[in-house]
Structure 1
């Protein structure tokens, strides 16, 4: 599935969660990289929500920490046909359904010179 979306500013909470050892170890083991402590937030059209929810609900890639932190589902993805990473679906989130959170090894806003409102594509 390939969808287009628009870069937007998140809440700034992902940096804390993505710097926790149990998350970084699992992402390194399962995806081959330690994610930059933050996500690239992409707002997608509501027309994709049924497909995204189906993928999320059927996703078996799961990190379940044994602390007060929530579980995270993830699916490998590619941003703009060039950056490998994953879309994460945190069990505890305050984002609307049409917000996708993409993780990668580097800070993508700097690497790709992205700013709010820029169009990007995600393939997963």
Structure 2
């Protein structure tokens, strides 16, 4: 069985998705024949068809049957999977670069205050981030370009936060990315993007933590635009 890679895809599925993208599937619907795709994958027509079916079932591409074949386009989830793979190759072959994400301040569901203050997380924040976060997160709704660029986040500098448990339950792991938060030329650091391994947030939602209440520090109201500059990774 093929090992899962970007976005939960197998290597074989990711390769098929890449070929659809090379045919133009990222920008619109393109004709794809299973026999032609099979030749490029060095696989049978039936195998190529199964790969497309699996990608469609997983939400990575859309297919439309037409009289002379099928039209295929890559979905947002498919693009994110490709961008995640691209971020891995960037680490191998490119010099590190800073990532900037932009979006607007929004009101969250209030869960951050509870989780940020839990002792199993708080101890790790203090020792690994160097500060005790304000009890709550600043929620950002990313713009369209930043939703796509977010796929590069795993290639940036990061700090792991381990899972832990108490007498009642297990609490999931997370990853923190060092960042500088900027609004109208005013910048604040240290801050971190926090990405839980398990989250109900969509890709357009981002959470920030800092040792202060960022809303007060930067005079923020809902709907105001922010830039988040994510520290580049240091490759050895």
Give the structure-1-normalised TM-score: 0.89
User: 1:22: which partner in 2?
Assistant: 120
Unaligned runs of 5+ in 1: none
Deviations 1:61-120 (A, max 9, x none): 221222221111111001013232100001222111111101000111122221100111
User: 2:175: which partner in 1?
Assistant: 73
Q: Which has the higher contact order (CA 8 A, sep 6+)?
A: 1
CA displacement at 1:58 relative to structure 2: 7.2
Q: Which has the higher helix share?
A: 2
1:113, 1:35 → 2: CA distance?
A: 18
User: SS of 1:11's equivalent?
Assistant: coil
1:47, 1:95 → 2: CA distance?
A: 18
2:189, 2:160 → 1: CA distance?
A: 22
1:31, 1:60 → 2: CA distance?
A: 10
- In the alignment, does 2:200 pair up with 1:100? no
Give the structure-2-normalised TM-score: 0.49
1:106, 1:31 → 2: CA distance?
A: 14
Instruction: Please list every run of at least 4 consecutive aligned residues from structure 1 whose deviation after the TM superposition is greater than 3 angstroms.
Output: 56-60
Q: Highest CA radius of gyration, 1 or 2?
A: 2
Q: For this pair of structures, how many residues does the alignment match?
A: 124
CA displacement at 1:59 relative to structure 2: 6.6
2:108, 2:117 → 1: CA distance?
A: 16
User: 2:54: which partner in 1?
Assistant: none
Q: Which has the higher strand share?
A: 1
